[in-house]
């Protein structure tokens, strides 16, 4: 067990199931802070199902808390994965974009046998054989078997965070734009109500029930008119026209109100009268 890995695992601020599996990995770490336990071993040690162990391990990898390497041997196609504790990871396990996209991983030299009898192939880390490292500009190996590589999780998360940031910025712009449009429509509706009161001598209040119905009709007019100013002017002209028509009719006089003038199934007809000369 690596005491450093164990203490580091305890210090992370992550969910309990993640910490439990991470502690199990730390218990298996050697002096190089590496381990290679099987999923079955971790499941038994943590008291969890194997599929849940696989899910948690993948989560730890995606959070850059650990680095997972696939190992191969001369006699088997696949053996247990190699796990490396990533001490550069922040306490919460999130990606720190200020860190360089390079991690130092200790591997045996090429053709050198690992202590459990399994040979690790350094060549599989090459940029020519692993597309995850195509953006890495510096892969070196010295005599001590130290390989400097660009960690693919950091590369991928950097691109993901950049896209998420752009997406959030776009959403924020759309939100601000929508808020401005709603504010503009509300002010326009209030202006129309004020004109209605002046023209009819009534006292219609700028409450939500009146503002909403006017804003809905304004949105319909904006599809055909060039500006909000033209929409407001059309609404004012319509109010003045219907007042002149209905004020002399005792039966229609009572319908001079916002709810009637801006009713959805009648509004287009009333606006249409402005251009017919009726």
- Dump pLDDT digits (tens) for 21-59: 999 999 889 888 889 899 999 999 999 999 999 999 999
- Kindly report which listed range (39-48, 49-58, 143-152, 175-184) carries the lowest average pLDDT score: 143-152
Which domain does 241 fall in, by range? Answer: 168-275
Does residue 235 lie in a domain region? yes
Rounded distance between C-alpha atoms, residue 39 and residue 53, angstroms: 7
**What local confidence, expressed as pLDDT, does residue 108 receive?**
42
Backbone dihedral angles phi then psi of residue 48, each to the nearest 5 degrees: -125, 165
**Which residues are within 8 A (CB) of 127 and not within 5 positions of it... i.e. 6 or more apart?**
133, 134, 136, 139
Report the CATH number at residue 16: 1.10.10.10
Rounded distance between C-alpha atoms, residue 242 and residue 258, angstroms: 11
Do 270 and 175 lie in one domain? The reply is yes
3-state secondary structure of 177: helix
**What local confidence, expressed as pLDDT, does residue 57 receive?**
93
Does residue 141 lie in a domain region? no
Instruction: Tell me how far CA of residue 76 lies from CA of 59, 111, 151, 192, in angstroms.
Output: 27, 16, 26, 80
**What local confidence, expressed as pLDDT, does residue 189 receive?**
94
- Kindly state the tokens that stand for 24: 């199990």
**Mean pLDDT calculated for residue range 125-148:** 40
User: How many distinct structural domains can be found in the chain?
Assistant: 2
Q: Mean pLDDT, the chain, as a whole number?
A: 77
Place of tokens 């916002």: 258
Instruction: Tell me how far CA of residue 149 lies from CA of 14, 124, 126, in angstroms.
Output: 26, 12, 9
The percentage of residues in the chain with a pLDDT greater than 70, rounded to a whole number, is 70
Query: Given pLDDT bands bounded at 50, 70 and 90, which one contains residue 153?
Result: low
Rounded distance between C-alpha atoms, residue 197 and residue 179, angstroms: 27
Does residue 251 lie in a domain region? yes
Angle between helices 152-200 and 208-222 (to 10 degrees): 110
Does residue 230 lie in a domain region? yes
**What local confidence, expressed as pLDDT, does residue 9 receive?**
87
Residue at which a domain ends, from 93, 110, 125: 93
- Dump pLDDT digits (tens) for 81-114: 889 988 877 665 554 433 343 333 444 444 444 4
**What local confidence, expressed as pLDDT, does residue 109 receive?**
41
Instruction: Please tell me which of 49-53, 134-138, 139-143 the model is most confident about, judged by mean pLDDT.
Output: 49-53
Do 88 and 181 lie in one domain? The reply is no
Complete edge-to-edge strand list for the sheet that includes strand 103-106: 103-106, 146-149, 140-141
Does residue 257 lie in a domain region? yes
Residue at which a domain ends, from 53, 72, 93: 93
**What local confidence, expressed as pLDDT, does residue 75 receive?**
63
**What local confidence, expressed as pLDDT, does residue 157 receive?**
60
- Kindly state the tokens that stand for 248: 């002399």
Instruction: Please tell me which of 144-158, 186-200, 262-276 the model is most confident about, judged by mean pLDDT.
Output: 186-200
**What local confidence, expressed as pLDDT, does residue 137 receive?**
40
Place of tokens 């994965």: 81
**Mean pLDDT calculated for residue range 167-189:** 91
Note the pTM of the prediction, 2 decimals: 0.43
End-to-end CA distance of the chain: 92
Residue at which a domain ends, from 93, 119, 140: 93
- Kindly report which listed range (142-151, 213-222, 248-257) carries the lowest average pLDDT score: 142-151
- Kindly report which listed range (10-24, 86-100, 207-221) carries the lowest average pLDDT score: 86-100
Picking from 204, 270, 208, 265, the residue whose alpha carbon sits closest to that of residue 235 is 270
Rounded distance between C-alpha atoms, residue 189 and residue 193, angstroms: 6
């Amino acid at each position: 067990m690596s005491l450093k890995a164990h203490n580091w695992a305890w210090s992370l601020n992550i969910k309990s199931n993640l910490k439990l599996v991470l502690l199990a990995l730390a218990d298996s770490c050697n002096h190089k802070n590496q381990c290679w336990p099987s999923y079955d071993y971790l499941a038994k040690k943590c008291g969890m199902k194997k599929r849940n162990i696989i899910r948690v391990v993948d989560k730890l990898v995606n959070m850059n808390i650990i680095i997972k390497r696939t190992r191969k041997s001369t006699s088997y196609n696949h053996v247990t994965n190699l796990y490396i504790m990533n001490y550069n990871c922040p306490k919460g396990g999130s990606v720190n974009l200020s860190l360089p996209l390079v991690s130092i991983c200790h591997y045996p030299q090429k053709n050198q046998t690992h202590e459990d009898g399994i040979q690790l192939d350094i060549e599989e880390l090459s940029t020519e054989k692993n597309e995850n490292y195509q953006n890495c500009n510096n892969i070196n190996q010295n005599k001590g078997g130290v390989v400097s590589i660009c960690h693919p999780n950091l590369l991928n998360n950097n691109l993901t965070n950049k896209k998420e940031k752009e997406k959030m910025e776009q959403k924020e712009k759309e939100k601000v734009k929508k808020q401005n449009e709603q504010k503009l429509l509300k002010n326009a509706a209030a202006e129309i109500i004020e004109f209605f009161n002046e023209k009819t001598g009534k006292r219609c209040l700028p409450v939500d029930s009146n503002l909403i119905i006017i804003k809905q009709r304004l949105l319909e007019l904006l599809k055909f008119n060039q500006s909000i100013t033209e929409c407001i002017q059309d609404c004012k002209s319509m109010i003045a026209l219907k007042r002149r028509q209905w004020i002399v009719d005792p039966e229609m006089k009572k319908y001079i109100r916002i709810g009637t003038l801006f009713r959805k199934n009648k509004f287009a007809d009333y606006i249409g009268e402005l251009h017919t000369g009726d």
